[in-house]
């Protein structure tokens, strides 16, 4: 389970979840203002022996009609303290070379999504791919505000964006946009200002980091400390849940260890883990 990429079926279009790594995190990080007395009954079944939540870090490879499309690229070299940065090995396991990738979609600029976009000398890791990011996201990570983030959190995105601009491999999009045949990017702000979610072949919704836990499906109001604007992300989550339930989309996300369809209940939504994942 640890290393083997999972396969999602998007109505005949194969999608491969590429595991970049695993980390365990405190529920206090995943859910801002976590209160064990209120949330514990829902969260406790998922905690490990150290009272942490296991979290996956991952990217998605789509075998689109227009060629291979990669959604995010993992940590690359930017998480030396974690067992992470394994997206490139996961591609190798599938027999895919970096130059086989035609398009890379960047959901957002956090290190665990953009670190793998560059190689050891800051060169683009996918030299024959058009890279797509939301304009607002590119502007934010190029701003003095991002530069001033603690712990050099802006460095991976700045490094990647500069390398891609220099190589003329970067395109920006605004609004909901068709990126390739059967690949639609949806504006999904809140986790970061220009976060994108992706719908593959009207069948799979890759939600990036709008959902950091499967508990965000029944509890969309539980925002994360990693959300830059939690309330905006909550509104985005509700919009994506409505769309997933209405269109019978398989909901999957970078850090959610399971995927599933979304069913409407009397007071919200629930995730029905899927055989398709």
Shortest reach from residue 209's CB to Zn ion, in Å: 4
> Contact between 209 and Zn ion (CB under 5 A)?
yes
**N- to C-terminal Cα separation, the chain:** 12
Listed in sequence order, the residues at least 6 apart from 204 whose beta carbon sits closer than 8 Å to its beta carbon are: 8, 10, 15, 249, 250, 252
Q: Which of these, 85, 127, 121, 119, lies nearest to 103 by C-alpha position? A: 127
Among 112, 137, 227, 234, binds Zn ion (CB under 5 A): 112
Q: Which of these, 237, 241, 239, 235, lies nearest to 260 by C-alpha position? A: 241
> Contact between 137 and Zn ion (CB under 5 A)?
no
Shortest reach from residue 168's CB to Zn ion, in Å: 27
The region of 79-87, 183-191, 203-211, 234-242 touching Zn ion under the rule CB under 5 A is 203-211
> Contact between 20 and Zn ion (CB under 5 A)?
no
Shortest reach from residue 67's CB to Zn ion, in Å: 25
Shortest reach from residue 134's CB to Zn ion, in Å: 16
Taking the least distance from each CB to Zn ion, the nearer of 112 and 227 is: 112
d(CA 274, CA 259): 6
Q: Which of these, 249, 240, 195, 241, lies nearest to 218 by C-alpha position? A: 241
Taking the least distance from each CB to Zn ion, the nearer of 112 and 137 is: 112
Shortest reach from residue 108's CB to Zn ion, in Å: 8
β-bridge mates for residue 112, sequence order:
none
Taking the least distance from each CB to Zn ion, the nearer of 29 and 34 is: 29
Per-residue binding string, Zn ion, 58-97, x by CB under 5 A, is ----------------------------------------
Residue 269 · residue 234 · CB < 8 Å = no
Q: Which of these, 17, 60, 55, lies nearest to 214 by C-alpha position? A: 55
Binding site residues, Zn ion, CB under 5 A:
110, 112, 209
């Amino acid at each position: 389970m640890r290393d083997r990429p999972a396969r999602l079926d998007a109505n005949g279009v194969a999608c491969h979840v590429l595991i970049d790594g695993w980390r365990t995190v405190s529920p206090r990080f995943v859910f801002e203002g976590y209160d064990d007395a209120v949330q514990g009954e829902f969260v406790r079944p998922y905690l490990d022996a150290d009272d942490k939540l296991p979290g996956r870090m991952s990217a998605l490879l789509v075998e689109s009609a227009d060629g291979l499309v990669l959604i995010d690229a993992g940590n690359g070299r930017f998480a030396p303290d974690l067992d992470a940065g394994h997206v490139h090995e996961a591609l190798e396991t599938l027999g895919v070379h970096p130059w086989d990738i035609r398009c890379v979609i960047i959901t957002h600029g956090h290190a665990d999504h953009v670190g793998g976009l560059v190689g050891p000398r800051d060169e683009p890791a996918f030299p024959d791919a058009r890279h797509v990011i939301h304009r607002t996201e590119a502007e934010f990570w190029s701003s003095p505000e991002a530069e001033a983030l603690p712990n050099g959190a802006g460095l991976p995105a700045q490094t990647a964006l500069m390398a891609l601009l220099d190589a003329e491999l970067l395109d920006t999009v605004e609004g909901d946009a068709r990126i390739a045949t059967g690949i639609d990017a949806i504006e999904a702000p809140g986790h970061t200002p220009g976060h994108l979610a992706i719908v593959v072949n009207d069948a799979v919704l890759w939600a990036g980091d709008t959902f950091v836990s499967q508990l965000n499906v029944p509890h969309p109001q539980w925002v994360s400390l990693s959300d830059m604007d939690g309330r905006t992300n909550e509104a985005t989550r509700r919009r994506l849940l409505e769309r997933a339930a209405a269109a019978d989309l398989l909901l999957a996300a970078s850090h959610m260890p399971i995927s599933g369809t979304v069913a409407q209940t009397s007071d919200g939504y629930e995730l029905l883990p899927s055989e398709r994942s």
